[in-house]
Structures are given as C-alpha cells and as structure tokens.
C-alpha cells in the first residue's frame, strides 16, 4: 500500500512542471494540488519572474569566458601555478585558526567566575 504524496511533494512536482515550461494552472493540476494550495504556485511564478537573469552584453560574456578558460590569465599565475594553490591553502588555514581561537576565547570567558555565580 502506498501513501499519498504530501503537500510538499505535490508542490515540488508542480514547481518541476513550472520549470519545464507548463502553465501555472496545468502544473498545479498535474501535481494534484487543491484549489486552496494553488496560491503557492502563483507565488513561485512571481518569484521566478522577479529572479529573471539580466541581459548581459556579448562582449562581456566573451571577456568573462576567456578569463575563465585561462586564455587571458595573469602571467604571474602561469609562471607560478603552485603558489596560487599554496596561497589558497594558507588563507584557509588562517581562517580556520582565527575561528578556532574565537571559539576558544568565548568558551574561556563563559566559564569564568561571573558565569559560575549566575548558576548558583
């Protein structure tokens, strides 16, 4: 025996239908949403319309594509690719170290005498 899909699962199916190009009413009907739940589909449609991508000039796309593909990479990076990796690793280690120190300091401060007096 199978259980009927939950409201979240039906909404997920309806959003998939919307992304596939179906009209909001068709997507809701295909997913089996009740009339009261179709306002959620309308909200999804308005969010999708407001998040539409902005048009980008072809020249900008070409420059970005060439930079990402490495055609116009910095000569320094091309001469020393290992340094870029090491720089990223050191930067990450410093970030983790600073975070660990902040957590350690906050733990020490909360275990001081004032904190112990509050729990008596």
pLDDT per position as a tens digit, 38-78? 888 888 888 877 776 667 778 887 777 777 676 555 666 65
Residue 104 lies in a domain: yes
27-51 per-residue burial string, b: 16 or more CB within 10 A, e: under 16: bbeebebeeeebebbeebeeeeeee
Return the pLDDT at 115.
Answer: 53
CB 20 within 8 A of CB 44: no
Length of the chain counted residue by residue: 120
Name the residue range of residue 13's domain.
7-50
Query: Taking the CA of residue 18 as centre, how many other CA atoms within 13 Å lie in the half-sphere pointing to its CB?
Result: 20
User: Does the pLDDT at position 99 exceed 80?
Assistant: yes
Same domain for 43 and 83, yes or no, is no
Does any domain span residue 90?
A: yes
Q: Is residue 2 part of a domain?
A: no
Q: Could you tell me which residue, 57 or 26, shows the higher pLDDT?
A: 26
Where do runs of H (alpha helix) occur along 2-50? 7-19, 24-31, 38-50
């Amino acid at each position: 025996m199978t259980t009927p899909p939950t409201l979240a699962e039906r909404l997920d199916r309806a959003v998939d239908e919307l992304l596939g190009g179906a009209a909001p009413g068709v997507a809701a009907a295909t997913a089996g949403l009740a009339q009261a739940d179709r306002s959620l589909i309308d909200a999804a449609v308005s969010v999708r319309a407001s998040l539409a991508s902005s048009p980008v000039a072809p020249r900008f796309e070409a420059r970005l594509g060439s930079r990402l593909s490495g055609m116009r990479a910095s000569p320094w990076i091309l001469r020393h690719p290992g340094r870029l990796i090491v720089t990223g690793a050191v930067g990450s280690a410093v970030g983790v170290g600073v975070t660990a120190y902040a957590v350690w300091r906050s733990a020490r401060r909360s275990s001081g005498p004032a904190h112990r007096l509050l729990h008596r």
